[in-house]
Amino acid sequence: MATTKSPPSHSLQIHRLPQSQYIDAVRFLPAFSGLDRFAVLALFDTHSSSPSLQIHSLPKSTPPSLNLQSSHSLPKSTPPSLNLQSSLSLSSRVSSLSLSLSAHKPLIAASTFSGSLHILLLDFDASVQSEFSVPEKSLHVGAISCVDLQESGVECVSVGEDGRVNLVGFGDGSRLTYRRVWDSDGLVSYTAAKWASPTEFATGGFGFGLQWWDLRKPGGPVSQFKGNWAQRTTSGIVHSIDIHPSRKHTCLAGGSLGTVFAWDLRWQQQPIILSGVGTSEVATHSPCESEVWEVKYDPYMQTSNFGNVSSSRILPAMLCSEDGILAVVEQGEEPIELLAEPCAINSFDIDRQNPTDVICSLEWESIAILSRP
Amino acid sequence: MPGLTADSGNALVPLSPEAHVSVVYPLHHGLKPPISRLSISWSRGNALRVSVFRELPAESGDSDGEAGGKVVQVKLGVADGEVDDAQWRRIAYGSVSPFALLQSRRNSVLALSKMSMSSSPYHPDWWEYVMEYSKDISSLLDNAKSLPNSVIDDPKTVLKKVEEPTCLKAAWGLLEIFYADKESQAWLPEQIVDWLADYDILFSGTQATVHSKLVEFQKAIVRLQTIEDDPRYWEVITSALAVGWLEIVVKLLRLHGSYQLDQLSNRETENGLVEAVAILISKMPRMRPELEAGRLGECFKTKPDFIKAWEKWRAQITKLDCSSFWVQCDHRQTRDGLRNMLQVMLGNTNNLCTSTCHWIELYISHFLYVRPFTVGLESMHALAQKCIQLKPISSSHRLMGLIIGILGENTEEERDNLGGISIEELHRLVYAQVLSSHALTWQIAPIYLTSCMKQGMGLLEVLLYKQPVQDNQMLLKTTEICRLYDLESISSSIMKIAGVYHWKHGRKGSGVFWLQQARDEFRLNRIAQQLFDFVGRSISDESFKQWEGLIELLGSESKIAGGLDFLHKYRDFKKSLQQVQVGKTTDAAQQAVESLISLMRNPSTPQRFWLPLLHDSLKLLSWQERPLLNVNQTNLLLNKLQELSMARLRPDFIEANLPPQALSSVRLALATNLGRAILEE
């Protein structure tokens, strides 16, 4: 059975906010205003069968320094709440959500299961300033599996199970342009994508496969990672990829069987396994046994010992899983379990401005907001 | 459907007569008329799936740009007005963990009792666990919003404002009293008194109740100058007393005008009588372990202690009733009102009957003042029947049905008409079916189904097979449930379905993946043939990059890939051939030859690839430096070529897309090589 260090529970604050709608994805908006912070929820109302995108404001948690004078009493922060700011109805459910800042204004890219892509440019008050969309059947045949916006927000990569890789740009700000980078004609399906640099990105798919793409070298992926590494007995799917801005040579991936592994481009076919039950060696360290739906580097954990981390060591990462686990895994360390829910945790995001805070969506129609000490 | 209602006697759940009312559900299909055909089938739960087909103009086909048909869902029935869908799902989600805990405790308790060979199947702690479960569920049934409590205690507010409770919670409360709370069985009547105090409001909707009378009076109270002159005051006070709401009664009594300072001197006797009754009421003996702070009465845990106190209390009431002070009290309404109250406390059935509205209120008053020791369902049922006769109900409330059901039925009895399953299993199955009928709650159903020994697993299999396979996330959620309950065969069937689905929709890689996961060699072999056709057409040196990913997915030949391991070898061969083109070293060429021979030896290499393979290798067959193939190898290839020539005569032979002289140039190259090889050996 998995072993985990449990965090000092008295200091971890967890708030669950029921939504009465299924949450397909949740993200924090990158901070653009000093006063408020916002979260974007992709929702699906089963009663009316209507999907929507909602932007909610949520109060910032009080920084620990402000609580010093009342250190003996409980911190008197108000419990977080979500306050609806704006809502946009969509024609299909959201399959993937990516956010970035473009000219200091937040940009949201939402792909749908029917294959359309919606790009929203927000104003400073988090209202929708303009909306662009690419209709279904233009980018992909069927659903778009994943979209990822560049940090600067100039281009968006989209991948699908149809085997296509597309780039959507909105250079002049008035309309979207798109071009096909690759079409594997369904021979390979892509389920995840993440930018590494303005010209490079990684994709992931079936059989724990990863691909590295360089726009300067067209005609297919420049490098491929074979998922069927030696000790594996069973295969799986990559659901999520993350790439750290300071470690562009390493691709972090999460997928089936509680698997989180890192692919270092400099050591091509030797993955560094952080978690997973498919391989014998790390099985005892695996915080979960089921699908890892999302994985992200955890900026909160790295601050503690960033100085003495060599560049080959994988930075701590957070994952959420089908078996209801939200945990932080670190190379050679016991995982730290933050949440163990009776239902799946389908997506999460870490507040980049305030990395103590994590927002996640639960299968049972609710949002959980965590505040780490 | 008249046929169904006719024989509803055989149905497990009898159909209600309201089903006769016809309801019109408008369809919003948005199609251009004319509509030629409708097809109706059941969807999830009580939803219908209606497929609407348009009649297409014969000549133009579907060129008018309009959809030829549409599928719409129609939800039948109306939601329970009390608990909306989202709230209902919240309750369903919240009750999973308590149920899982109870089940695991049950298993460990059963294991313990087996070990100790004790005759009782349950541990003494068991009922504590059951109560814990019941309390957990009950807390989920609370209304989310509660009214803030007023800080200032207004003496004229006799009835505290509370959020209207739900029938659901009231029903759960009853079940808890009768079935779960075994510790408090001795104090059952008092528990029902408390229950009615909480839920009497629920019956006010259909008829007058003590609660509704109080609400009415509360509205009037501020306008009354001398409250004791109003007959409603005494009526309400006696009613509240009859159902045991002692705190309200005492509070109302203290509003009596004789308590006012300016009146106290000339209404001394009257005030003394009012206060005497108030004190008697607040000292009422109650057969229960405890009372919450602020509630009136004196608690007695055991029957002998209670009987002693009860007799003493009644003696005090009788003594007061016979007191000479009544003659000295000249306020008629007060005198009559108070003596009426004494009659209620003495259990005068006529007084009880007139001061209560609903039969359940009369029933409660009997427990309080006539038969405080009523025990056993049988006598409780008889008493209920008597009360219903005295106060017939005009319209039945669903909670009444539940009460009568509990009192009238012996649930311990085994029943034959349930298809061999226990009533516990029946209820769990019904609940699981309700959960299964919603896209968001079906994932909870397995935990209840697996706790049903007889029919649970069968229904779970059906449920899992019904889940959609189109979306990977959904599919993985389904297979995760299979993994949790060790249903590997179902999981692999589902993955086979998914594999074929993706394959058919052009997602070849994803199709192969799911079939591999399902270890379905049969289908992998089948699709391998189609894949080879595709390869034969599309594989050129440039497009090979497209294939790379799929071949990676197929993995090494040790893995299950059906005939698909050919692709893997073919790729290796093509790669080494490319090396030869670039480097032209003999070593690389020798390696390419090994690949070629291994491909030609492999039985899974399709025949139609033989000639293209050999044609691709012409350069190797006529290598400048030395013959790369030895005699045996050359003979093998020549034999294959011979076999191919024979096969060409068969009508189903597929000619490779090669130049016409391909065969002869290969034959010539092989013959040359053979000659050189013989010389070398």
Specify the pLDDT at position B7.
43
The token pair at B552 is 């990676």
Contacts of A186 in chain B (CB under 8 A): 506-510
Residue B612 has pLDDT above 90, yes or no: no
State the pLDDT at residue A277. Answer: 80
Angle of the B662-680 helix axis to the B631-647 helix axis, nearest 10: 160
CB contact under 8 A, A322 and B505: no
As a whole number of angstroms, the distance between CA A111 and CA A133 comes to: 10
Averaged over B325-334, what is the pLDDT? 90
More confident: B23 or B216: B216
**Mean pLDDT on A300-316:** 67
A324 touches chain B (CB under 8 A): no
Cis status of the peptide bond prior to B34, with omega within 30 of 0: yes
Q: Look at B616 and B104; give whichever has higher pLDDT.
A: B104
Q: Between chains, do A365 and B553 touch, taking CB under 8 Å as contact?
A: no
The whole-chain average pLDDT of chain B stands at 83
CATH number 1.10.287.610 is the correct assignment for the domain at A13-62+79-302+310-371: no
Distance CA B79, CA B65 (A): 38
3-state DSSP call for residue B622? coil
pLDDT at B408 (0 to 100): 83
Q: What is the reported pLDDT for B125?
A: 81
Longest dimension (CA), chain B: 147
CB contact under 8 A, B480 and A322: yes
Least Cα separation, residue B507 to chain A (angstroms): 4
Asked if A206 has any chain B CB less than 8 Å from its own CB, the reply is: yes
B101-121 pLDDT per residue, tens: 999 998 888 887 776 655 555
A161, B513: Cβ pair inside 8 Å? no
Interchain contact B49–A (C-beta under 8 A): no
Rounded-to-integer distance, Cα A78 and Cα A84, Å: 18
Mean pLDDT of B51-79: 72
Name the 3-class secondary structure at B163. Answer: coil
- Nearest by CB to A188, which of B509, B516, B556? B509
Closest-CA residue to B463 (of B437, B440, B486, B483): B437
Residue A197 pLDDT grade (very low, low, confident, very high; cuts 50, 70, 90): very high
pLDDT tens-digit map of B385-411: 999 999 987 777 888 888 888 888 755
Q: Which of A21, A141, A161 lies closest to B510 in CB terms?
A: A161
What chain B residue is nearest to A208 in terms of C-alpha separation? B553
Lowest-pLDDT range, A131-135, B3-7, B433-437?
Answer: B3-7
Q: Smallest CA–CA separation between A47 and chain B, in Å?
A: 8
Lowest mean pLDDT among A168-182, B136-150, B312-326, B576-590: B136-150
Interface membership of B71 toward A (CB under 8 Å): no
Please give the pLDDT value at position B80: 64
Give the number of A-B residue pairs with CB atoms closer than 8 Å: 120
Cα separation, B474 vs B478, in Å, equals: 6
What confidence score (pLDDT) does residue A74 get? 45
pLDDT for B144 equals 52
Whole-number Å distance between alpha carbons of B619 and B613: 12
pLDDT, average across residues A301-330: 80
* Average pLDDT for B454-465: 92
DSSP state of B447: H
Which residues on chain B are in Cβ contact (under 8 Å) with A343?
93, 96, 443
* pLDDT (0 to 100) of residue B566: 78
The reported pTM is 0.84
Nearest CA in chain B to A190: B510
B575 or B439: whose pLDDT is higher? B439
pLDDT digits (tens, 9 = 90+) for B192-245: 999 999 999 998 877 889 999 999 999 888 888 888 999 999 999 999 999 999
User: Please, what sign has the CA dihedral across residues A246, A249, A250, A253?
Assistant: positive
pLDDT recorded at residue A298: 94
Of A133-147, A220-234, B519-533, the range with the lowest mean pLDDT is A220-234
ipTM of the complex in this document: 0.91
Instruction: Write the residue in A162, A224, A343 that is nearest to B507 by C-beta.
Output: A162
pLDDT at A325 over 80: yes
**Is residue B3 predicted with pLDDT exceeding 50?**
no
Answer whether B169's CB lies under 8 Å from B135's CB. Answer: no
Q: Shortest Cα distance from B137 to chain A (angstroms)?
A: 16
Of A114-128, B32-46, B90-104, which has the strongest mean pLDDT? Answer: B90-104
Residues of A in contact with B550 (CB under 8 A): 184, 187-188
Residue A142 CB-density burial (10 A; 0-12 exposed, 13-18 middle, 19+ buried): buried
CB-closest option in A22, A163, A211 to B440: A22
- pLDDT at position B121 is 57
Compute the C-alpha angle B311/B312/B313, nearest 5°: 90
User: Which residues are CB-contacts of A242 (< 8 A; sequence separation ≥ 6)?
Assistant: A194, A252, A295, A296, A297, A317
Nearest chain B CA: its distance from A233 CA (Å): 9
Q: Do A205 and B509 touch (CB under 8 A)?
A: yes
For chain B, give the percent of residues with pLDDT over 70. 86
- Interchain CB distance below 8 Å, A20 and B86: yes
Q: Residue B73 is encoded by which pair of tokens?
A: 């869902």
Exposure string for A223-247, b = 16+ CB within 10 A, e = fewer: ebbbbbeeebeebbbbbbbbbbeeb
B143 close contact with A: CB closer than 8 A:
no
pLDDT at B74: 81
**Residue B330, phi then psi, degrees to nearest 5:** -100, 5
- State whether A20 and B550 contact (CB < 8 Å): no
Q: What is the pLDDT of residues A29-79, one digit of tens each?
A: 987 666 778 999 999 998 888 999 999 998 876 554 444 444 444 444 567
Contacts of A183 in chain B (CB under 8 A): 546
Preferred mutation among B43, B510, B535 to probe A, highest tally of A CBs within 10 A? B510
Chain A residues closer than 8 Å to B545 by CB: 219-220
Report the chain A residue with the minimal C-alpha distance to residue B483. A290
Q: Do A322 and B476 touch (CB under 8 A)?
A: yes
- Axis crossing angle, helix B544-554 with helix B565-583, rounded to the nearest 10: 130
Of A338, A265, A343, A332, nearest to A298 (Cα)? A338
Which of A13-27, A246-260, B47-61, B394-408 comes out lowest in average pLDDT? B47-61
The band of B414, judged by pLDDT with boundaries at 50, 70 and 90, is: low
User: Higher pLDDT residue, A57 or B562?
Assistant: A57
Say if residues A143 and B502 touch (Cβ distance below 8 Å): no
With contacts defined as CB-CB under 8 Å, which chain A residues touch B85?
Answer: 46-47
Instruction: Decide if B553 and A188 are in contact by the 8 Å CB cutoff.
Output: yes
Q: What is the mean pLDDT of residues B623-645?
A: 87
